[in-house]
């Protein structure tokens, strides 16, 4: 087979010596007008590619070195804020090039969020300051809770007259003179009328100081009388008390010291792990003691001597409130089901 070329020279783009017209392609923000070789190339937009927001940026690995313009800010201040502005790709991540263009510390923007519930927010309002004034607040060397003026208790209303200040080593202090004797209850030397309050089965008659106090019911045995007394039962560790006196039910809530179970360890294994599931009320991280027992194993003809032939060591830890993760190893090769019991540490 042979090829015969035409007299027309082969274009340079195909390895020949003839002419070839380049095919120009307009990129983003570029327009190309006119036929070759009199084409006009001009920019139609910003020299940087614009995207709506940070989430619209391409993967940085696909455009290393590129600079993009993010048109709108998104997210919440101090949590996941992505500001509008210029971003550059280093091939791994996007870097914000511009200075902070938004007023993060403007009292309209600055917010403090609760770490557990971001919907709980505190803001500051500085509109009450005099124009051109900076106020400084010193923090006391103590921890505490901010109080409102409404939290301050109302003062005790008394009739007083003020005299001239007294000079003392500590400076001038106001001298307040009370126009009537101060009651003993307020630290004075005058008399005070006590206000007696009648409790359960107590009656108070007549005005002070000739009041009569009387008991109107049976005095409970617990108080030295002859009436009845309802005992107050207190549940100790691992004890529950339900119902009302005298029909209380007292129950032991503590689990059995050792809990028996059986576990299939598979075939031809000398070590491994397994989970004890379906439990409740366990404390994560507690150690678990696991012992091989001589309990009857139905799948092995009710054998109770497996420990003589396949001695197995096991131990575990509490993964969650309902699961224990156990590890084991055998002196030989374990096959099938074995009897165990576990005890969770206190």
Q: Give the mean pLDDT per block of 10 residues along the chain (346 residues).
A: 51 65 70 75 65 94 90 86 89 80 66 81 90 91 88 60 43 49 61 76 83 75 67 80 85 78 88 94 94 84 69 93 94 87 90
Measure Cα distances from 201 to 38, 198, 219 in Å.
113, 8, 9
Report the pLDDT value the prediction gives residue 2, as an integer from 0 to 100: 44
Which residue, of 110, 126, 142, is where some domain finishes? 126
Q: Is position 336 within any domain?
A: yes
Report the pLDDT value the prediction gives residue 322, as an integer from 0 to 100: 95
Which residue, of 126, 141, 156, is where some domain finishes? 126
Q: Spell out the alpha helix ranges (H) of the chain.
A: 306-309
Q: Report the C-alpha gap between 264 and 338 in whole angstroms.
A: 6
Chain centroid offset of residue 168 CA: 54
Number of Cβ atoms within 10 Å of the Cβ of 312 = 22
Of 217, 182, 185, the C-alpha closest to 201 is: 217
Report the pLDDT value the prediction gives residue 171, as an integer from 0 to 100: 45
For the question of whether the overall pTM of this predicted structure is more than 0.75, the answer is no
Domain total in the chain: 2
Q: Is position 199 within any domain?
A: no
Which residue, of 126, 160, 195, is where some domain finishes? 126
Measure Cα distances from 281 to 251, 258, 320, 322 in Å.
17, 16, 9, 7
Question: Which residues, other chains included, contact 19 with Cβ-Cβ below 8 Å and sequence gap of 6+?
Answer: 9, 11, 12
Q: Is position 228 within any domain?
A: no
Measure Cα distances from 200 to 29, 170, 205, 223, 334 in Å.
89, 52, 15, 13, 72
Q: Is position 333 within any domain?
A: yes
Range 226-243 burial, b when 16+ CB lie within 10 A, else e:
eeeeeeeeeeeeeeeeee
Q: Is position 13 within any domain?
A: no
- CA angle at 72 for the pair 67 and 76, rounded to the nearest 5°: 115
Sign of CA dihedral 288, 294, 295, 297: positive
The domain of 328 spans: 259-344
Beta pairing partners, 315: 289, 327
């Amino acid at each position: 087979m042979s090829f015969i070329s035409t007299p027309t020279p082969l274009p340079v783009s195909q390895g020949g010596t003839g002419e070839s017209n380049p095919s120009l392609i307009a990129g983003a923000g570029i327009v190309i007008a006119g036929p070759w070789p009199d084409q006009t190339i001009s920019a139609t937009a910003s020299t940087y590619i614009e995207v709506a927001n940070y989430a619209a940026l391409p993967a940085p690995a696909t455009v290393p070195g590129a600079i993009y313009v993010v048109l709108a800010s998104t997210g919440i201040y101090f949590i996941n804020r992505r500001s509008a502005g210029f971003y550059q790709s280093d091939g791994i991540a996007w870097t914000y090039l511009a200075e902070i263009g938004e007023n993060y510390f403007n009292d309209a923007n600055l917010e403090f969020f609760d770490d557990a519930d971001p919907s709980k927010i505190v803001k500051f309002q500085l509109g009450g300051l005099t124009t051109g004034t900076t106020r400084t607040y010193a923090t006391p060397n103590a921890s505490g809770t901010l109080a409102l003026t409404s939290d301050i208790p109302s003062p005790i209303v008394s009739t007083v007259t003020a005299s001239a200040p007294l000079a003392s080593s500590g400076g001038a202090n106001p001298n307040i003179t009370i126009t009537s004797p101060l009651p003993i209850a307020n630290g004075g030397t005058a008399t005070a009328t006590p206000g007696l309050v009648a409790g359960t089965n107590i009656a108070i008659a007549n005005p002070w100081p000739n009041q009569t106090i009387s008991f109107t019911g049976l005095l409970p045995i617990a108080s030295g009388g002859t009436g009845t007394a309802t005992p107050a039962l207190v549940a100790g560790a691992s004890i529950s008390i339900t119902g009302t006196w005298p029909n209380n039910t007292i129950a032991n809530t503590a689990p059995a010291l050792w809990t028996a179970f059986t576990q299939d360890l598979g075939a031809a294994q000398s070590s491994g792990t397994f989970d004890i599931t379906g439990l409740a009320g366990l404390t994560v991280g507690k150690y678990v003691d696991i012992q091989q027992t001589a309990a009857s194993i139905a799948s092995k003809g009710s054998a109770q001597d497996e420990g003589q032939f396949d001695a197995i060591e096991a131990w575990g830890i509490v993964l969650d409130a309902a699961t224990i993760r156990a590890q084991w190893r055998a002196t030989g090769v374990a096959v099938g089901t074995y009897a165990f019991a576990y005890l969770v540490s206190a």
